[in-house]
Chains A and B, each alone.
Chain A
Amino acid sequence: MATSAPATDLSQAMLETVTPAADWVIVLPIALALMGAAGLMMFRRSNGIPLIGAVIVVLGIIACEIVLLSEIVANGPVSMTMGRWLPPFGISLTADIFGASFALAAAVVTLIILLYAEMDRADADGRDAFHPMVLLLLAGVTGAFLTGDLFNLYVWFEVMLIASFGLIVQGSRPLQLDGAVKYGFLNFLATTFFLLALGLLYGLLGTLNMSDIMRVAPAANPAAMAGVAALLLLAFGMKAAAFPVNAWLPASYHTPPAAISALFAGLLTKVGAYAMLRALVAVLPASREMLEPALALIAIGTLLIAPLGAIAETNLRRAVGFVVIGGIGAILAGLAMPSLNGVAGAGLYIFHAILTMTALYMVAGLVEKTTGVTDTRKMGGLYAANAPVSILFLVLVLAAAGVPPFLGFWPKLLLLEAGLAEGVTGTAPTWTGWALVLALMINAVLTLIAGTRLWAHIFWRSGPEGNGSEHGAVTLTPFGRRGQLALGATGLLVAGIVVAGLWPGPLLENIAVGAGDILDPARYVEATGLAGVNP
Chain B
Amino acid sequence: MDYILAALVGLFIAVGTYLLLSRSVIRMLVGLTIFGNGVLLVIFTAGRLTREVAPIVPDGLEVPAGPIANPVPQALILTAIVIGFSMFAFLLVLAFRAYQSLDADNTDTMRLAEPDNAPNPPLSY
Contacts and interface: CB of A to CB of B under 8 A. Distances in A.
Interface of A: 1-3, 5, 8, 10, 151, 154-155, 158, 161-162, 165, 169, 172, 174-175, 177-182, 184-185, 188-189, 192, 195-196, 198-200, 202-204, 250-252, 254-255, 311-315, 376-377, 453, 456-457, 460-461, 465
B32 A188 contact: yes
B63 A2 contact: yes
Given A178-B113, A185-B32, A251-B113, A192 B73 contact: no
B55 interface: no
23 contacts: A1-B63, A3-B63, A10-B62, A172-B97, A172-B101, A181-B110, A182-B110, A184-B94, A185-B29, A189-B35, A192-B32, A192-B35, A192-B36, A192-B39, A195-B39, A196-B39, A199-B43, A203-B42, A203-B45, A203-B46, A252-B113, A255-B113, A453-B121
Contact of A250 (B20, B65, B114): B114
Contact of A460 (B94, B107, B125): B125
Given A2-B65, A184-B94, A199-B43, A162 B121 contact: no
Given A3-B63, A169-B94, A457-B125, A178 B102 contact: yes
Contact of B87 (A158, A182, A250, A456): A158
Contact of B110 (A151, A154, A178, A461): A178
A199 B48 CA distance: 11
Interface bracket on B: 35 or more
Most chain B C-beta atoms within 10 Å of own C-beta, residue among A154, A192, A199, A315: A199
A203 B46 CA distance: 4
B28 interface: yes
B108 to A, nearest CB: 12
B68 to A, nearest CB: 12
Contact of A203 (B36, B47, B90, B114): B47
Contacts of A2: 61, 63, 65
A184 B45 CA distance: 28
B12 to A, nearest CB: 11
B7 interface: no
Given A5-B60, A172-B97, A177-B94, A182 B121 contact: no
Contacts of A377: 119, 121-122
Nearest to A204: B46
Given A5-B61, A196-B42, A202-B76, A175 B121 contact: no
Interface in B93-125: 94-95, 97-98, 101-102, 107, 110-114, 118-122, 125
Given A155-B83, A313-B118, A314-B118, 14 more contacts: A1-B63, A2-B61, A151-B79, A162-B86, A165-B90, A181-B94, A184-B90, A188-B32, A189-B35, A192-B36, A198-B43, A313-B121, A377-B122, A456-B125
Nearest to A205: B46
B8 interface: no
Nearest to B48: A203
A118 to B, nearest CB: 26
Given A151-B76, A155-B83, A192-B39, A8 B90 contact: no
Contacts of A255: 113
Contacts of A313: 118, 121
A191 to B, nearest CB: 8
A172 B102 CA distance: 11
A2 B84 CA distance: 38
Interface in B1-49: 20, 25, 28-29, 32, 35-36, 39, 42-43, 45-47
Task: Pick the 9 closest A-B CB pairs, nearest first.
Answer: A203-B46, A199-B43, A8-B62, A199-B42, A178-B112, A179-B113, A177-B98, A158-B83, A178-B113
A195 B80 contact: yes
B91 interface: yes
A408 to B, nearest CB: 23
Given A177-B101, A377-B119, A182 B90 contact: no
B72 interface: yes
Given A174-B101, A202-B72, A457-B125, A3 B45 contact: no
A255 B80 CA distance: 29
A151 B45 CA distance: 17
A189 B73 CA distance: 21
B13 to A, nearest CB: 8
A179 B118 CA distance: 16
Contact of A312 (B61, B83, B114, B120): B120
Given A8-B62, A254-B113, A185 B122 contact: no
A193 to B, nearest CB: 8
Contacts of B60: 5
B113 A175 contact: yes
Contacts of A189: 20, 32, 35
Nearest to B114: A251
A230 B7 CA distance: 22
Contacts of B45: 203
Nearest to B97: A177
Contact of B47 (A155, A202, A250): A202
A155 B65 contact: no
A254 B118 CA distance: 15
A456 B60 CA distance: 77
A36 to B, nearest CB: 21
Contacts of A155: 79, 83
B76 to A, nearest CB: 6
Contacts of B20: 189
Contacts of B98: 177-178, 180-181
B122 A457 contact: yes
Nearest to A193: B39
A199 B39 CA distance: 8
B101 A465 contact: no
B43 A202 contact: yes
B95 A181 contact: yes
Contacts of A179: 113
A92 to B, nearest CB: 16
Contact of B62 (A5, A204, A311, A457): A5
